[in-house]
A and B are shown apart, each in its own frame.
Chain A
Amino acid sequence: MNTNAIKDLLYRMADDALIIAHRHSEWTGMGPLLEEDIAFSSIAQDKLGHALALYSLLHDLGEQQPDTIAFTRNERDFHCCQFVELPNGEYDFSLVRHFLFDASEKLRYDALQHSTYEPLAKLARKMRGEIRYHIYHGQTWMVQLGGQGSEESKARMQAALDEAMPYALGIFETTDSENEIISSGLFEGELALRDRWIAYVTEIVNAASLRMPDVQAITPVFGGRKGFHTADLQPLLDEMTEVFRLDPSAEW
């Protein structure tokens, strides 16, 4: 199997997990309810664990140590989609992003359980429960603040959904390794995932009495997978690595 194709896929997934973990963690201590603050922080912590597990797989393939990969790369070397970099905004946007992103994570990891790259298949099986919980959390809030919420909460969720959708579709940006990834049985590919994601998300959006944006008419925001990022990523990296950079050789 082509190692570069495996690394490409792992970097994209790991960077998504790391960056969204950081964004979610920015709510810690500031969440709208005590219980929700704890839940969202816990999800952030899980995501960080996923990033570590994926960086460890990369390390096994000859890449640097996980901390080195996470904390010392330049912005251009990150392969996360732009969706995960966007600032948190208000809680409606954070929740909608969490739901849309974790719907893709759930379907991605479901498929990866059958990957021909056994270390990744094994990891996907191990993470299954956590990711099921993440999407359950996201879906429950969508329904609560959509159809079961107030006029205001419903309008806010709809606005957040409309705003998020072009970026969410950017999750499925392909790279030059795409054909290799599919033909080797590593993964089903981003386009197949995208189709399943649209069907899944549409169902929940309907259940939440919200309106699914017309995805065929939306131009996805691409670039992240190839190292082109929003102006929001560099400040995030500066803040995330601030303590690490004080003493990169420190033992934690």
Chain B
Amino acid sequence: MATIISLDPRVTRAQIDPDRPDPLEPKHELDQFHTYEVFHQQKSGGRHVHVGSLHAPTKELALLMAKEQYARRGQTLNLWVVNTRDVVTMPSEDSEIFETTPEKKYRDVSAYMVRNKVEEFKKEQQGTKA
């Protein structure tokens, strides 16, 4: 039987028959594991930040794989994994519900005139100390 000879000794050792009578069946297009969303927490009390997703057969393995994929570089305190199917999301055709009329500036952060009040308060505090 002819086998594949490779520069990689592992491939040569595997004695792969290039003309195997039962060639491997390619998988169906969507025949794969679920995806899980990964959330990374850097420090105690810090928020879990979405960092990406991965494929895994179960939630236990998703957590295991997340450690390697998303926590191997830099500081990590904890990880969350969530099955992507469990994430509730808005249908994209409804995205216009986030639009609002332009005259409601008072709802925007930029419309809050807090600085003046803070300055005033600081002065007041200094006044009481003196």
Contact = CB atoms under 8 A, between A and B. Distances in A.
Contacts of B72: 42
Contact of B64 (A26, A30, A140): A140
B22 interface: no
B99 interface: no
Most buried by A among B55, B61, B72: B61
A140 B10 contact: no
Nearest to A27: B10
Interface string B27-69: 0000000000000000000000000001111101100110111
A26 B65 CA distance: 20
Nearest to B68: A39
B9 interface: yes
Contacts of A26: 10
Given A26-B10, A33-B55, A35-B56, A140 B61 contact: yes
Given A26-B10, A35-B54, A140 B67 contact: no
A120 B17 CA distance: 48
Nearest to A149: B57
A137 interface: yes
Interface residues of A, number: 18
Contact of A144 (B55, B58, B69): B58
Nearest to A140: B64
Interface in B56-86: 56-58, 60-61, 64-65, 67-69, 72
A38 B69 contact: yes
A20 B57 CA distance: 27
A39 B10 contact: no
A67 interface: no
Contacts of B55: 33-35
Contacts of B9: 239
Contacts of B67: 39, 133
B55 to A, nearest CB: 7
B68 A144 contact: no
A107 to B, nearest CB: 21
A30 B10 contact: yes
A34 B54 CA distance: 10
Interface string A107-144: 00000000000000000000000000100110011011
Interface of B: 9-10, 54-58, 60-61, 64-65, 67-69, 72
> Lowest 6 CB-CB distances: which A-B pairs, in order?
A35-B65, A39-B68, A140-B64, A38-B68, A140-B60, A26-B10
Given A33-B55, A39-B65, A144-B57, 5 more contacts: A30-B10, A35-B55, A38-B68, A140-B61, A144-B61
